[in-house]
Amino acid sequence: MDIFKLINEYRRKNIAMMAITAVKKEGAGPVEVGKKMIVLESGLTYGTVGGGAIEYYAVNKAKVLIKERKSLLETYVLDEGKVLPESTTLPMVCGGVVTLFYEYIGPKASIYVFGAGHVGQALVNVLKTMNFHVTAIDERTEVIDKFLGADQLVNLGFVDFIDQDLIKDGSFIIVCTPSHKYDYHVINRILEKKIKPAYLGMLCSPDKIKGYLKSTYEKFGKDLDLGFFYSPIGLDTGGMTPEEIAISISAEILTIIHNKLGHKHMREILDGEDRYW
């Protein structure tokens, strides 16, 4: 089995994984330096780092790290009666000490762009300079055929794509379709299906968003949590060209990913009584 071929195959399919490598060993134990395994979020594994308690622990650790999109170097004592500084003791009797490197392999985030127009194209041009997996969706064949740079192009109705259940919780969604009617259809279907994105942004003016919010609360109730919803979209950077809007949206996404506070988001221009988060 060629693990590196599997890694490339999963990367093409936008499947995040953790590559675990034994990088150091002292004393006895079933681990050999250089041994490698990959773990998917589902728990599916390929390869080995020695089996037994250390591999069981490593697989569960990897599943947590995949969700956090983090890499880690960690040392293990293979002797349940022994404790060493900055290490984790495992229920084994080998007596050795092993260091594993957990390497997250996958995109920084999965991003879905609904609408392959000028703003959508400018946005993808910016996002693909970073480690994002970007899917562009548009029902207009003549538009999607000319679109460049996305990892995946989908020529399908906007709501039809959502109904395929391909959008995972924690994803980033940008809605910039050619019509506010379609924008509303997209967002309403996401809410209906109870998808929980990390970020859902809609290209919209302050006047338009007030009307949308009124109809949305009438449909879903006043207790609807829209904390992940950003509209008007982007940071307050100024500029109205597609390229300037794309930078504003990309910057807003980065503030969410890196949990940075203190920036002025465009949605904050709404009056206090109109705010929804």
Give the ranges where 96-205 is alpha helix by DSSP (H).
118-127, 141-144, 158-162, 180-192
Vertex 43 angle, CA 40 and 47, to 5°: 70
Tell me the C-alpha distance between 142 and 89, whole Å. Answer: 60
Vertex 112 angle, CA 129 and 259, to 5°: 70
CB 113 within 8 A of CB 177: no
pLDDT for the residue numbered 164: 95
pLDDT for the residue numbered 1: 59
* Beta-bridge partners for 153: 136
Give the predicted TM-score (pTM) of the model: 0.85
Provide the 10 A C-beta neighbour count for residue 274.
13
Residues 6+ apart with CB under 8 A from 14: 106, 107, 110, 133, 151, 152
Q: Mind listing the pLDDT tens digit of every residue in the chain (277 residues)?
A: 588 999 999 988 889 999 999 999 999 888 899 999 999 988 899 999 988 889 999 999 999 999 999 999 999 999 887 888 888 899 888 888 999 999 999 998 999 999 999 999 999 999 999 999 999 999 999 999 999 999 999 999 999 999 999 898 999 999 999 999 999 999 999 999 999 999 999 999 888 898 899 999 999 998 999 999 999 999 999 999 999 999 999 999 999 999 999 999 999 988 777 788 8
CB 204 within 8 A of CB 183: yes
85-113 burial, b for 16+ CB within 10 Å, e for fewer? eeeeebebebebbbbbebbbbbbbbbbbb
CATH 1.10.10.60 correct for 109-274: no
Numbered ranges of CATH 3.40.50.720 in the chain: 109-274
